Structure 1
Amino acid sequence: MLGIPGSGKSTVAKILAKSLEAEHLAASTVLREYAASHPDESKSWAEFWRAGASAPDEQVLPVLWGAFVRMTALRATILDGYPRTDVQLQDFLDRGGWIDLAAMLHSSEDVALNRIMNRGATSGRVDDVLQVARRRLDSEKLAQNSLLSALSVHVDVTVIDTDSLNPRQIADLIAAQVQ
């Protein structure tokens, strides 16, 4: 599940995981939980997040790969926001990871910002504030375009415009391709 912040990745991934009886690996949740339980190792991550940037790949890759290995030992896993960069994709594939289907959720910047601000009202996340969200969207759009090109070499990528569909409709579109 790929897309800019606010495109609906996590919401759709939760619905899809439930309907497919799969695990849901939300990269942002995994990294935030790791940061909370390993503050010495991850103390710089919050600084990146506050600036609207991602934590460095070399620091987060072992954490994300570890979560992937634990989850896929149980059953199929919906990846939500991982891999997020070309470097993460290559590391994922080099370690033996595989992707059967990729969905790129496309959202307009206005809709994405509205979703982030609504989420930010209750999330407490340092990156769910307007100025930071705008910086995140700018940097993530560039990374997503590059990732889309790299990923399409390995797997078919379905691009879905999320602005006019509700999360259940999006999940149903994706599920239909899996079954």
Structure 2
Amino acid sequence: MPSLALVLGAHHPFRQAVPPLDAIAARHPVPLQRWVSEAPAHVPAAAARARLRRAAVFADPRSESAGESLSRVLIEELGFAPPTALQHAVRDERGWQVARVDFWWERERLVGEFDGIGKYDLALHGGDDAARRRSIRREKEREVALQRVTSGIAHWTWADLRDPQRLARILTAFGVPRR
């Protein structure tokens, strides 16, 4: 595993290195940092070691998908403030959890959600039509509940990540602050 982590971080651009390093950090948090500290023995080039350190420091085990990881990278590269929390439990005025969201900006009470569209494509899912309708209804109810307790909910998809300026427009429109 150390050679994989070192190769990913040292020899790939930041955008490509962070998603797999997030996954490695989720599974092996202590070893990842140890492998980075041992990098000079395996990665002789100073520039490659610097790339590795930057990606490993940025790696976050709370990212639950490559889309969330790439979203974090682009939020950083586009100059937006980092979210104050990942996988944050949003609560209502009684303290009850309304939802767990991908990205949370506390001061602004803003939610960011990377949406893998597959969950909405009914043709991709076999089985009971009633179960699919219940799933869509739950998603809609979640959205309405979040709207009641937050200032806004920014949603984006893979298409937005492929065109970072689209993501920038979405984040700007919802009031995500700049660094």
Please give the TM-score of this superposition, normalised by the length of structure 2: 0.34
Larger CA Rg, structure 1 vs 2: 2
Please give the TM-score of this superposition, normalised by the length of structure 1: 0.34
